Amino acid sequence: MLVGAGGYFANLAVFAALYALGTPYIAAAILSYLVSNALMYLGNRYFTFRLGHDGFWAAYLRYMLVGVVVTGLNAVILAALVEGTGIDSRLGLAISLLLITPVAFVLFKRWTFRLGRV
């Protein structure tokens, strides 16, 4: 949970900084997720699952592929929230990340790190 929470807040912080600099909200969401994705990979690999260095790059490639799928889902949900309800994109991002977290966790754990049942 610590790694996930850290990734969540890193994502929100990077998004807020990019958005404040004038980056369109979808682009900011994609970039901020990719940053938090890399940080969460390191945290999950070394802290959560304690996997060491063996297979680092192969697992990271799988993690990035899942991250791209999750990023796409997040962008769709975020756009639907912002355009459909008119809420602020920062709040929309916070909500969209919470909505995709369960699916992302299962995909990351099962496919990236090839661990058993959740």
**pLDDT value of position 92:** 97
**pLDDT value of position 77:** 96
Is residue 76 domain-resident? yes
Q: Are 81 and 92 in contact (CB under 8 A)?
A: yes
Is residue 63 domain-resident? yes
Measured CA to CA, the distance from residue 114 to residue 111 in angstroms comes to: 5
Is residue 117 domain-resident? no
Of 55, 64, 11, residue with least CA distance to 35: 11
Average pLDDT along the chain, 118 residues, taken 10 residues at a time:
90 98 97 93 84 83 89 95 97 96 82 58
Is residue 24 domain-resident? yes
Which domain, by its residues, includes 76? Answer: 2-112
Is residue 118 domain-resident? no
pTM above 0.75, yes or no: yes
The domain total for the chain is 1
**pLDDT value of position 118:** 45
Measured CA to CA, the distance from residue 70 to residue 13 in angstroms comes to: 18
**pLDDT value of position 87:** 97
Is residue 73 domain-resident? yes
